[in-house]
Structure 1
Amino acid sequence: MYPYKTKQVKCLYRYRLGDVVEVAGFYKGTPKLNFICRRKLILTINIDKNTEKDLQLAVQKGSQPLIKSRAELVDFTSHAKTENQPGHYVVYWEIKGEVNEHILALCCKEIDAAFADHGYVVSRKNNSIGPLELCIVEPGTFKKIMEHFIGNGATMSQFKTPRCITNPVSLKILNLWTVKRFHSTAYM
């Protein structure tokens, strides 16, 4: 028997370098961490540089018309599509509830206009970057992406939907399950 008590400490046993976290408080001297975003995640095509925070803010602003429709944004991700010129951003949304196409077209325009990066705005105005594309995916699409990552070794408790996808299998899943596409009319 040991003559002293052992102290059990909960800590991070696995994390990804580059995660930005904030200390939300303490529990018996151990910091409680909130995940904020991934550092260095950048959507870029030309001279634009939009971070995950920029994307989050644009999606929040763009999703405001959904509230009036009593619909809910379940999850989202993005992709910088550069196969064709000019390249453009693609944002994938999974929505809970019914939304008419007029509202979704407005959401698309609002997302595009919400990117405040000077390089993006200039590139959109001179057509170096094409109109943002909003893709609405079938319910359960993001679950399929999670299952793909878990099947390749990720743990469910550690999985977070990537906000910028480059993985070809994930992109294939997103594109196969896309049911509606909208192109922004901002900057026209």
Structure 2
Amino acid sequence: RSTVGDREVLDLAAAVAWARRLGHRTVWTVGFSMGGSVVLRHAALYRAGTPDAHGPAHTDAVVAVSAPARWYYRGTAAMRRLHWVVTRPLGRAVGRYGLRTRIHTSDWDPVPLDPAEAAARIAPVPLLLVHGDRDPYFPLDHPRALAAAAGEAAELWLEPGMGHAENAAAEELLDRIARWTARHAPAG
């Protein structure tokens, strides 16, 4: 069941630790939309030198595409619809049978680290924030707030004409993101 960004950070930490156990010395995390908030929180919570129960689970670079800056945002019609799906019993039924996504029924307790607060804790890990200027879910104040919180450690790309998340990411943009991660690979 989806916890809409809360416990998914544990899945990501387990995947990163597993990749490192397999011998991968460099691991980057990339997340779109809710996944963007997950990679931000993961990078803030799992730091180099602080092993998880399953081994080192830190990331070497973070890319967050179309990520929210704060929880419970309802300022757009798309987010109001999404909150209906997540918070209402009928909405969760629509999510399960119409969208094929099971959503956990419990509210967050405690509320997870806010994405902007997480962004402020990521440095010195390189952070790329990518956001479309036509995102119907999160307006441009979200990526700008994330970039402001992260400070000089972050690079912000505002993409003209881009909508929301992976469905709006052109192949050219994905290629640029791949080149950015390659430039930010740790030495050695």
TM-score class normalised by the smaller sequence:
under 0.3
Larger radius of gyration: 1
Tell me the TM-score normalized by structure 2: 0.27
Structure that is richer in helix per residue:
2
